[in-house]
Every structure is written in C-alpha cells, then in structure tokens.
Chains A and B, each alone.
Chain A
Amino acid sequence: MPFNLLVLACLTYVAFLFAIAFAVERRAQAGAAGWLRSPWIYTLSLSIYCTAWTFYGAVGYAARSGLEFVTIYLGPTLMFIGWWWVLRKLVRIGRQQRVTSIADMISSRYGKSNLLGVIVTLICVVAATPYIALQLQSVTLSFGVFAAAGSYGWVMPDTASTGLWVASGLALFTILFGTRNLDANEQHTGIVIAIAVEAVVKLVALVAVGIFVVWFIADGPADIVTRINASPIADWELVPTRWAGLIALSATAVITLPRMFQVLVVENSDERNLATASWAFPLYLAAMSVFVVPIAVVGLQMLPAGANPDLFVLTVPLSVGQGGLAMLAFLGGFSSATSMVIVASIALATMVSNHIVMPVWLSLRPTREVTGDVRRLVLNARRFSIAGVLGLGYLYYSFSGGSASLASIGLISFVGVAQMMPAMLGGLFWRGATRVGAAAGLITGFVLWAYTLFLPSFGPDSVFSLSVLMDGPLGLSWLRPQALFGARGMDPLIHALFWSLVGNTTAFALGSLFSFPSPVERVQGLAFVNVFDTERSEPQAWDQGLIDTEELLKLAQRILGDEPALTFFQQATQEQGTDGYLPDPTPAFLEALERKLAGAVGAAAAHAMIAELAGRARVTVADLIRVADETAQIMENSSRLEHQRAELERTARQLREANEKLTQISIQKDAFLSQISHELRTPMTSIRAFSEILMEGDVPPEMAVTQARIIHEEAIRLTRLLDDLLDLSVLENGTVQLDLRLVSLTELIDRALRAAGQVRPDQTFVIWRDLPTEALFIRTDPDRLAQVFINLVSNARKYCDARQPEIRIAVKQRGARVIVDFIDNGSGIPKDKQHIIFEKFARLTDQTRAGGAGLGLAICREIMANLGGSITYLPAQGGAAFRVTLPLRLEKPKYSDAA
C-alpha cells in the first residue's frame, strides 16, 4: 500500500474521531446526552488498558513465551471481578473527594501533602516514558510494514523522523482535545467517547484478523489445536514466579497506571457503572486475548523465520493478499496507540500542573490577594506538560534505539507504577498509615526500581557500565543491579518487582509505625478508611469568623470562571435558605467550595488557598479532639440530632432575615412618609405662596412670569412623583399592558445611554461595550426595558464616585435567556445595604441628591418581573454591578386578560 494513502487514512480517521468528540461535547452541553453515562461507554473507555502493546505485542509475546502473555489480562480480570474489595472503595472516595489524579488521591489521603503529590507525579512521569515510547515504536513499526509492502507513492522517511512526526501529531491532537476547557471535575466527555469508539475499532480489528486466521487460513478450531501442539509455542515453560508475579503485577497496574486511574475513577460518572464493568471489562479482555495464540501460531508457520512476531497482526493478512483486512488491523493498532497516549498525557499533565506548577506559583505569589487569571495559567501548564511528556517518550524511544520487544518495555512501566500500590492500599485500609511512611515507601520503591530495572533497560554501557552490571558498583557484588543481595537465579523483571516492593512496603510500614500523623492526616485517614460508614466526616472546620465571603467569591471567580462561580455561590445561598450571591461561610459551604476548587487545581492547592483566606494554615487543638475516635462515634450517633438542628438553624436564619428586612422596611416607610409629605408640601407651599401673590394683582408682568414658571415647575415635579407612584402600583398589580416587539438590543442600549446622558452632563464617562455580543434581537417591551436601562445608567452616573468613572456593559446569551450586566468602577454598594436597594423608598444616602424619591430600582424590579426576567445586584465586581436577566423571546404577556 502506498505510504501517502496510509498517512491520508490516519488523518481521516483522526478527523473522524475529532468530529465525534466535538459533536458529543456539544450535545452534552445541551444536556441531551444521558447515554454518555451508560455503563457500556464506561467499560469501553476502560479498554485503554489494551494499548498497542496488547494489539501488536501480545502476539509477539505469545510467539516468544507461549501462554505467559495471558497473565497481563488475568490480573485485571481478578481485580475487576473482585471489585467489592478495592475498586468500589476507590471509586467512592474518588467521587467524594473530587480526586483529579492518582497523585491527588495519595496526596489527599495523607493530609493533602504536596510533597507526596510531587513524588507520585515524578514516579508517574518517569514510569510512563517507556510506555509512551512503546506506542511510538509500534506505530512506527506498523508504518514500516506498509511502506515495505508498496514500492510506489511517497518514500517513507527513516524510522527516527517517523517517530518524531507521530509524537508531534499526537501532542497536537491531545492538546486540541484535552485542554480546551478547565473542567471542574476533570471530566472530558468528548475524549471518553473518542476512546470508546477506538475501543470498538481495535476489538473489531483484532477479532476480524483472528476469525480470518482460524476459519479461512486454518480449518477451524480443531485444526488450530493441532497446529498449536505442533508449533514451537508448545515448548514454552511455565515459570511459576513469573506466572504468579505477572498476574499480581498486572492486577496492581490496572489501578495504579495514571491513565487507568483517570478513566476508572476520575471520569466515572456513576458508581453503578462499576457493577457492570466488573464483568464486562474482563469479557473485553478475554475477547482481545482469545485469538492471540492462533495468530501467533499461524504467523510462525507461514512467515519466514526472521519475521518480527510483534507485527504478525499486520503481516499475516498482508502475506495472503488481504490488504483491506490489514488496513483494518492497522487502524486498530493506531487506535490502541492514540487512545493510550491521549489519556496518559492528559492524566500526567493534570498531575504536573496541579502538583508542581500550581504550588510553585502559589509560593511565588507575594501578596495574599489572588491576581491574574489562574485558569489560563493552569491550561497553559497542561499544554506544556503534554508536549513535555510526549517529548520524553520520544527521547526514550530514540535512546533505547527502539530495539527491545514491545512486551518487555511495557512491563518496565508496570513495575514503576506498582510502587504506588502500598501507599494507596495502605491508605484505603489502614488508618495508621502516615505521610512519612508513604513518602519513605514511595522513594525507596522508586529508587530500587530505577536501579534494578529502569536504568539497566537502556542496555549495558549506556547508563551503567558493563562492569557495574556484572560485578556491582565498586566491585560490591551484593549490589549488582540485577542480582541484589545475591539473588542471582531470578528473572530480572521478577527480581526488580520483588526487591522494589519488599523495600517499598517495609519502608512504608516502618515509617508509619514510627511517625505521628498531623491532624489533617488523621481526619483524612478516617474519611478514606471509613468512607462507607462516615459519609459526612468533615475533614476540617474552618474558622468562620475570619472569612470574608466576598474574598472567597473573588478567588472562586479567578479559578472557576465568573459564571460558574456565581452560580455555585448562588446555589449555596439558596441551600442556606436565603437570597443573593453571598452565602454564610458555614463549614459545609467552605468544604464544598474547597472540593470544587480541588477539582480544578488539586486538593493541596485548594486547601492552601482557602487556608490563606481563612487566615490560618495550621490546625488547632479543637481539631485534634475532633479527630479522636470517640468524637467520630458520638457524631455518628447524634447525626440525626445534628440534621434537625441544622434545619432549625436554617429556619431561624430565614426568620431572622425576614424580621430584619421587615424592621428596615418599616423604618424606611416611616422615613418615606415624612419625606413624601415634605416633598409634597414644599412644592405645595411655594405654589400656594406664589399663587396668592399673583392673586393680589399688583405684580409687575416680568415678575408674574417668573412666579408662574415656578408654579409650573413645582406642579411638574409633583406630577412626576405621583406618576412614579402610580406606575409602581400598576406594575405591582400586574395590570400593565405590554407592547411586545422585536427590537435590537444594541439600539436599546444606545437609546438608554443617550437618554441618561442628561444626568450630570458635566461628567465624562468612559463606556465599555462589546458590540458583537450585543447584536441580539429580543422580543420584549422596548419602552419598558429602556426605562430599566436608563435607570441603571443614570444611577451609575449619579452615584459612581471614581475619579475617572467608567461603565461597562456586558451582554451574554445563555440558552433562551439574555443577561445584561451594568458595572461601574465606583465603590459599589455596601454589603449590608445590598438587599434593600430594590425595596420601595430605599435610599442609601439621606440627601436627595438628584431629587429621586427612591422608587427607581423598585420600578425596575417590577418591570423586569413583568417582562419575565429579573434584576439583581452582583457583588464583588469591583464597583456597583447590576445584572438584568430577561427572556430572549417573551411569548405573550402574562396578564393580557387584565387591563
């Protein structure tokens, strides 16, 4: 097949995946994608366990070592059918703590320690390097097969530059896919779907080749059995240590590989999916494995002796002229490699940005205040990390010369990530496990792995000289990398697995036994180990008095984005039973916020940020007491009491708030009555006085004109006041007639700005607008809406006290609703006044600065209610900010029958 056709096929395939991911993400945003959460999609996404190593390497492995290849799939099978032991707990904790990666999980368990996060991240990055190199090698090799088969078309470049091209293509693809948005929960729906599609492609491809081999080349299963027993594969020797060791190793790797943890725990959208995956995923693995030996046997018989068994999946169909089948197999292998690289590099990039970049950034930041847009920083950190991870993989590939067989490279990675197992399992089941123990275990295991397996894998005389490998460093033979402490007879892989895990577990246990955990660690330990008993264990009680909710909102906006943060705060306020955007900083709210932030920047960073705002980075004696078991038990018993108390408190708070509001309104009403009588009397007095003078008759004509004008002006003022009152009562009764028309929002805002320009015309205001976003046609009552806009702009002009006043008008469309924000740069409205400004007769200052009667905003609120929308005050926007929300198309007037 011509090489250029092959490249074209790959590009088309990638474009197709991209289109699917894009379409699905669109639909998920519109909320129409319930099937995305189905257990089948979940199971298929788990299949990234089967990488190009499975697709090509398993056949090669079988050709070299017989049935041993199957251990790599038996381990995960045991782990999944035993989901009741570990996986169920892991997934529950992952969801409850909003874990973003395996590093986050371990750091979170051991007191949100960032040190552990860094260690785990480093282990994962180093261990993933050979694995990514393996994918590059297999794609490059498969390109080579096709390039050799066809002699026309483009000439394939040499393998090194092909590898580079593949690596850069994958990096670009992953960055486009995985870092478009910073998801609160680190879930990537589009990618999960693309992975699921690739899972189907690779299964179909491998099964198709298998069926072809069994029923078209051989004469069915019986023939295959005789061929197997006649082939060199039948001579394989089962090595007991390797058989048992590899089953245990692969069982471990299936939960500690960063990419598996990503799809298994982080992308899990429903715990019940795990029940289905517990048998469906082993079924997938069995289906992937069942044809491996037949393909290997037939390949060994048909192809010349020197043929690379890692490529039998391609070369067997090609040798009998089945180009189409080979193409399908090629796409299956391509799928396996791309899906692994995408998920692995996303998982690693998340860890690098959350555990290395963010903490560095946090510690470099000089002031308490959060400045700049954190989201951009995080996304860029992830993009660079993805490129970095793939770059490392390419370096390993070109360093190791791409010579080793696929299976041996993959197993090096497996042993590397297995070092996380003691810290993770210990954390799940042993409350005595501590941060010191976990760090000691991880470091010991990592060093032993690097010394006995990873560094020797580069071959003699590249990292270790031949003499070090043969006689040990400095001639100390008991330190030989592949025969530690005289263990000479062991297989190198099992040797490394054995010593690294023995050292790891010992250091972990001893470190835990001889250290004392910090309070946060003990609370987190309780929350993890007893996750099914103590659903509500509260890791930390923040001191409420010290926290300014407005500061929290600012922080959350920087990290989550303006809209999601406002929505989150609004929901929290509603759950507390009040209105607005600023909830009380209750422990429950703070913890929810911390978890939400943890979803974006990781547990340790989120904890540090809130700790800083709470003015407290250490835990008090009171927390220590909370940790004690007794407390936990008492809490369990009194949970119902607690619940009732919380409800009572909520009701009491609502009552208190209502009462406060009533008192304030009553005071205001009194004030208004005296004011309105004053307002009515002043014009009345002058009208009466001047009309009496006029009645006397002997006034000079020019003076009479002046006095008549005064009478006229005062009468107009009276009329305006009465009009406002009348307007308000009409609006409140809902008897208003709406004149609905289609109108351009831009024009309405123009009109409002023109009309409001007469207020304080001496002041020059800078107006910020974004015209393209305003280009909306809305169906509403234009005059009424303009009235609201004019009122808001005039208020800003009246009360904005900045030296260089500015007004920013921002328009957003959210589905069928339009949001218009008016934000000035003055000092804003004090927090205690924010909830009375929409009441009638409310005035913030006592002086009647612009002659209003305090009815403007009350009228605005009623108008918006009549237009099917609302008007609210937005706190923490750097000035007074009002948000007008209205429907894009107001269908028919609510009160049309009145009139």
Chain B
Amino acid sequence: MNRRGPVFLARRSYRMRRLRDGARLLPVAGTFLLLLPILWQPAATEARDTAFDGIYIFAVWAGLIIVAAILSRALGTGEEAEAPAGREDDEGLTP
C-alpha cells in the first residue's frame, strides 16, 4: 500500500517500529534456542547431564518470558503508533 507520508519517521515512531520488529523476532530466536538441544545429542551420551539439559531449557524459558514482558510493557497494543508520523489513522477501538 503506498501511503502518503514522510519518508523518514520521527524518533519516537522509529523506536516503536523497531520494538515491533523485536517482538516479531523474539519467537524466532526462541525457536532457535529451544531446538539447539537437538544438536547436542551425540555428545550427551558419554556423561549423564539430563539435569543440565533441563536447567538450560528452563533458563531459556525464563529469559524469553522476561524479554516478552519488557516488550509487551513497551508496546501496549501498538495502537498509538500504528499510523505513520504526521497522519492520523482511523484505526481504533472506538466506533
């Protein structure tokens, strides 16, 4: 869609858009980290370190939760910044 707006955004809107990119990238990073144990498998046979595997998974899990919490706090629903700078978009919850 070619929206008529300025080519470059104000600093605030720019930050908001990068935050949204971050929110989109987070599950990708999470998927990578959680699939990583597949690669360890051959090495895991010599020593018994299931507990370590478990700790790793729960640590990644906790990290994802913390980052998601920070991002969601900053994003809200993303409604405020949905419109490009300088133009009011009529996307809103009110009829």
Q: How far is the CA of A77 from the CA of B69 in the complex (A)?
A: 12
Chain A residues, CB < 8 A from B48: 229-230, 234-235
Chain B residues, CB < 8 A from A271: 77, 93
State whether A535 touches B90 (Cβ < 8 A).
Answer: yes
Chain B residues, CB < 8 A from A79: 27
Task: Tell which of A228, A240, A272, A532 has the most Cβ of chain B within 10 Å.
Answer: A228
State whether A236 touches B72 (Cβ < 8 A).
Answer: no
Binds B, one of A9-17, A274-282, A468-476, A683-691: A274-282
Task: Tell which of A66, A81, A233, A293 has the most Cβ of chain B within 10 Å.
Answer: A81
Chain B proximity mask over A634-651: 1 for CB below 8 Å, otherwise 0: 001001000000000000
Chain A interface, >50% SS class: helix
Q: How far is the CA of A70 from the CA of B58 in the complex (A)?
A: 10
Least distance between B5 CB and chain A CB atoms (Å): 13
State whether A238 touches B77 (Cβ < 8 A).
Answer: no
Q: A81-B26, A275-B72, A275-B76 are in contact. Are A247 and B50 (CB under 8 A)?
A: no
User: Smallest CB-CB separation from A282: which chain B residue?
Assistant: B65
Count of A-B residue pairs with CB < 8 Å? 120
Chain A proximity mask over B36-78: 1 for CB below 8 Å, otherwise 0: 0110010010001111011101100110111111001101111
User: Smallest CB-CB separation from B55: which chain A residue?
Assistant: A225
Least distance between B52 CB and chain A CB atoms (Å): 8
User: Smallest CB-CB separation from A575: which chain B residue?
Assistant: B95
Chain A residues, CB < 8 A from B26: 81-82
Q: A77-B61, A234-B48 are in contact. Are A532 and B38 (CB under 8 A)?
A: no
Q: How far is the CA of A327 from the CA of B26 in the complex (A)?
A: 40
Chain B residues, CB < 8 A from A88: 77-78
State whether A279 touches B24 (Cβ < 8 A).
Answer: no
State whether B77 touches A67 (Cβ < 8 A).
Answer: no
Q: How far is the CA of A487 from the CA of B58 in the complex (A)?
A: 34
Chain B residues, CB < 8 A from A229: 48-51
State whether A272 touches B77 (Cβ < 8 A).
Answer: yes
Q: How far is the CA of A636 from the CA of B35 in the complex (A)?
A: 43
User: Smallest CB-CB separation from B58: which chain A residue?
Assistant: A290
**A243 adjacent to chain B (CB < 8 Å):** yes
Q: How far is the CA of A114 from the CA of B1 in the complex (A)?
A: 33
User: Smallest CB-CB separation from B74: which chain A residue?
Assistant: A275
Q: How far is the CA of A82 from the CA of B27 in the complex (A)?
A: 5
Chain B residues, CB < 8 A from A216: none
Q: How far is the CA of A633 from the CA of B35 in the complex (A)?
A: 43
Least distance between A705 CB and chain B CB atoms (Å): 73
Q: How far is the CA of A230 from the CA of B93 in the complex (A)?
A: 56
**A41 adjacent to chain B (CB < 8 Å):** no
Within 8 A of B (CB), among A522-537: 532-533, 535-536
Give the contacting residue for B37; candidates A82, A84, A234, A238; CB below 8 A.
A238
Give the contacting residue for B1; candidates A85, A226, A276, A533; CB below 8 A.
A533
User: Smallest CB-CB separation from A633: which chain B residue?
Assistant: B1
Q: A243-B38, A639-B90 are in contact. Are A293 and B54 (CB under 8 A)?
A: yes
Q: How far is the CA of A237 from the CA of B44 in the complex (A)?
A: 9
Q: A278-B72, A293-B54 are in contact. Are A286 and B61 (CB under 8 A)?
A: yes
Chain A residues, CB < 8 A from B61: 74, 77, 282, 286
State whether B72 touches A532 (Cβ < 8 A).
Answer: no
Chain A residues, CB < 8 A from B54: 67, 70, 228, 293
**B34 adjacent to chain A (CB < 8 Å):** yes
**A78 adjacent to chain B (CB < 8 Å):** yes
User: Smallest CB-CB separation from A285: which chain B residue?
Assistant: B61
State whether B20 touches A84 (Cβ < 8 A).
Answer: yes
Give the contacting residue for A240; candidates B41, B66, B77, B82; CB below 8 A.
B41
**B16 adjacent to chain A (CB < 8 Å):** no
Least distance between B65 CB and chain A CB atoms (Å): 5
Residues of B within 8 A of A (CB): 1, 20, 23-24, 26-28, 30-31, 34-35, 37-38, 41, 44, 48-51, 53-55, 57-58, 61-62, 64-69, 72-73, 75-78, 82, 90-93
Question: Can you spell out 18 A-B residue pairs with CB atoms less than 8 angstroms apart?
Answer: A67-B53, A70-B57, A77-B64, A78-B34, A84-B23, A88-B77, A88-B78, A225-B51, A228-B51, A240-B41, A243-B38, A247-B35, A271-B93, A282-B64, A533-B91, A535-B90, A535-B91, A639-B90
Report, nearest first, the 5 A-B pairs whose CB atoms are least far apart.
A82-B27, A279-B68, A279-B69, A81-B68, A275-B72
